[in-house]
């Protein structure tokens, strides 16, 4: 049994929150087992667990919503229909990119949709397309990386509004390039609901 946090207010409610970050109190640079099983606490910063996210999404047509906030208070979002995590333990991201709705300024190119079709990578389970590098290590996170990503919600939590790069080739922070470019975010959430 797993405890979940529900949002009954946003966009008509009915959301299950599976990712929440707002102060960096929970380290997200973790191994595959921790991402599969989940970590943190629903009343704080947490990741629900890939196997639970996959199970919830497999029970019917599911929508996903990403939310992010900058240090200056500006808020952004993206939503996609037909969200699934496929291929058993690869947790390959499947979304209907044509159904995307986004806040102003986020283009197709710099969106979450860029990662559609890729398995989930962690530092100890490299599933990105780049044979020369491990993007989970380079970006100090865990995500659906292909040749990197325009979104890195599980990256290092740095001082909001700063550019976070610890010297590797690429950003290492908690960012959404389409929303705030290279600026580290103040907060992010990911939610799913049945439609």
Q: What is the pLDDT of residue 67?
A: 98
Taking residues 165-173, report their average pLDDT: 73
The answer to pTM > 0.75 is yes
Write out the residue range of the structural domain in which residue 112 sits. 5-194
Q: In angstroms, rounded to a whole number, what is the distance separating the alpha carbons of residues 85 and 109?
A: 21
How many helices (H) and strands (E) the chain has is answered by: 4, 10
CATH number at residue 71: 3.90.215.10
Q: Which DSSP string corresponds to 62-96?
A: EEEEEEEE-TTS-EEEEEEEEEEEESGGG-EEEEE
Name the band, by pLDDT with cuts 50, 70 and 90, for residue 166. low
* Number of domain units in the chain: 1
Taking residues 124-138, report their average pLDDT: 93
* Beta-sheet strands, E only, within the chain: 5-7, 15-21, 39-40, 46-47, 62-69, 75-86, 92-102, 151-152, 175-176, 187-194
The pLDDT tens digits for 82-93 are 999 999 899 999
């Amino acid at each position: 049994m797993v405890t979940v946090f529900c949002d009954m207010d946003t966009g008509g409610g009915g959301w299950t929150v599976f990712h929440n970050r707002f102060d960096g109190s929970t380290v997200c640079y973790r191994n595959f087992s921790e991402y599969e099983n989940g970590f943190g606490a629903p009343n704080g910063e947490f990741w629900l667990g890939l196997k639970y996210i996959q199970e919830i999404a497999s029970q019917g047509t599911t929508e996903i919503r990403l939310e992010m906030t900058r240090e200056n208070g500006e808020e952004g979002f993206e939503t996609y229909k037909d969200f699934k995590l496929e291929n058993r333990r690869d947790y390959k991201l499947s979304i209907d990119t044509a159904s995307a709705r986004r806040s102003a300024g986020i283009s197709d190119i710099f969106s979450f949709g860029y990662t559609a079709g890729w398995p989930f990578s962690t530092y100890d389970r490299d599933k990105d397309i780049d044979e020369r590098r491990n993007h989970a290590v380079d970006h100090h996170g865990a995500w659906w990386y292909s040749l990197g990503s325009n979104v890195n919600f599980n990256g290092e939590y740095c001082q909001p509004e700063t550019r976070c790069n610890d010297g590797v080739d690429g950003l290492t922070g908690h960012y959404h390039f389409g929303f705030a470019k290279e600026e580290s975010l103040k907060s992010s959430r990911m939610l799913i609901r049945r439609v």
